[in-house]
Amino acid sequence: MKQIACPHCGNRAQAEFIYERTADSVVPLDAEPAVAVAALFTRANLRGMEEELWRHTHGCGMWLLIRRDRASHDIEWIRSIGPEALP
């Protein structure tokens, strides 16, 4: 099983994490419904590097920004995000 290095908990099994969406699909609360639907449910799913939002659901609960290669699944870097994020 793939390991993800959580900045708070260390290396953990990928099963502890939930993939949320690509980082560019974050939608403002005041967005028009058609814009929100397109951003949340339409994905290009291209090969190459992508910044994605993940959550360590079965661990510390932190939101993570992960830069990952979609073809090889290699992780380039991981950053915690949110008010409790580590610097």
> Which candidate, 52, 45, 47, places its Cα nearest to that of 25?
52
What total of structural domains would you count in the chain? Answer: 1
* CATH code for position 55: 3.30.2270.10
> Is 4 in contact with 14 (CB distance < 8 Å)?
yes
From CA 49, how far away is CA 74, in angstroms rounded? 9
Q: Please tell me the pTM assigned to this model.
A: 0.74
For residue 71, give the DSSP letter: T
The boundaries of the domain holding residue 75 are: 3-81
- Residue-wise pLDDT tens digits, 49-83: 989 899 999 999 999 999 999 899 999 999 998 87
- Residue-wise pLDDT tens digits, 7-39: 999 999 999 999 887 766 677 788 899 988 887
Domain assignment of residue 38, yes or no: yes
